[in-house]
Structures are given as C-alpha cells and as structure tokens.
Amino acid sequence: MESVKRPLSPHLQVYKPQLTSILSITHRGTGVLLSIGSLFLSCWLIGLATSEEAFANLQLHWTAWYGKILLIGFVFSIFYHLCNGIRHLFWDTGKGLEISTAYKSGYAVITFSIILTIVTVIMGGVL
C-alpha cells in the first residue's frame, strides 16, 4: 500500500501568539504554581506546629532571596488566577465575549494582578 502524502497540521510555530491564548496558558501555569505553593505552605505550617527550630529553619529559606522570589511568584499566581477567574465567570454569563472587550478585560487582569501583588508585597513587608 502506498503512503498518502498529507499536509502537516499547523503548529505553534506557525501561529502568532495572541493575548487571549497567552492569558489562557498563564492561567493554567498559575494554577500549577498554586498547587506547588500549597505544598510549600503546608510545609511551613507543619514547621510552625512542630518546633521552634523547624520553623526557624524554614524561615531562613523564606527570608532568603530565592524564598522571596518564590513568595512573590505565589502571591502573583493567587491574584492572577483570582482576577482571570472572575473574568471567566463573566464569560460564563455571556458577557464580555466580544474581541475588543476580551482584550480590555485581559489587560485589566494583568494590570490588577500586578498592582495587587505589589501592594501585598509592600504591605506584607516581603521586600
């Protein structure tokens, strides 16, 4: 039997990234980061409940530069996932589905996520 030469399907290298696709991928990524962050939060709580020494050891990591970066990433993930989730709730009711509105709400999600992260980090004394 002779093999049929079929055209290859378009793939990610062919498409120009759009705001909506980037936001969708980021939403999934922040969901994964929130799951991983929950494990770190659990370790921190277990350390708090175990002993002063265990808690102090964990605090050394959270106050180091890499711990602060992880903490800021976790906070951003919370706010991004929250803001984008609210956006999706509006979409579920059929509102904001027009392309121009979807782009405006996408930029709003990014803006509010960054602002809320900065305010939380500054007010929380992370930096």
In a domain, 5, yes or no: no
Angle at 86 between CA 34 and CA 97, to 5 degrees: 125
In a domain, 12, yes or no: no
pLDDT of residue 127: 79
In a domain, 46, yes or no: yes
In a domain, 14, yes or no: no
Per-residue pLDDT of 34-80, as tens digits, reads: 999 999 999 999 999 999 999 999 999 999 999 999 999 999 999 99
Asked if 47 contacts 55 with a C-beta cutoff of 8 angstroms, the reply is: yes
115: domain CATH number? 1.20.1300.10
For residue 118, give Cα distances in angstroms to 12, 89, 99, 122.
Answer: 33, 25, 29, 6
Q: Is the pLDDT confidence value at 9 over 70? A: no
**Residues 52-77, buried b or exposed e (16+ Cβ, 10 A)?**
eeebeebeeeeeeeebeebbbebbbb
* Averaged pLDDT for residues 3-29: 82
In a domain, 10, yes or no: no
In a domain, 79, yes or no: yes
In a domain, 75, yes or no: yes
Q: How confident is the model at residue 12 (pLDDT cuts 50, 70, 90)?
A: low
pLDDT of residue 7: 64
pLDDT of residue 4: 79
In a domain, 113, yes or no: yes
What is the C-alpha end-to-end distance of the chain, expressed in Å?
67
Range of the domain at 92: 19-123
Q: How confident is the model at residue 17 (pLDDT cuts 50, 70, 90)?
A: confident
Task: Count up the domains in the chain and report the number.
Answer: 1
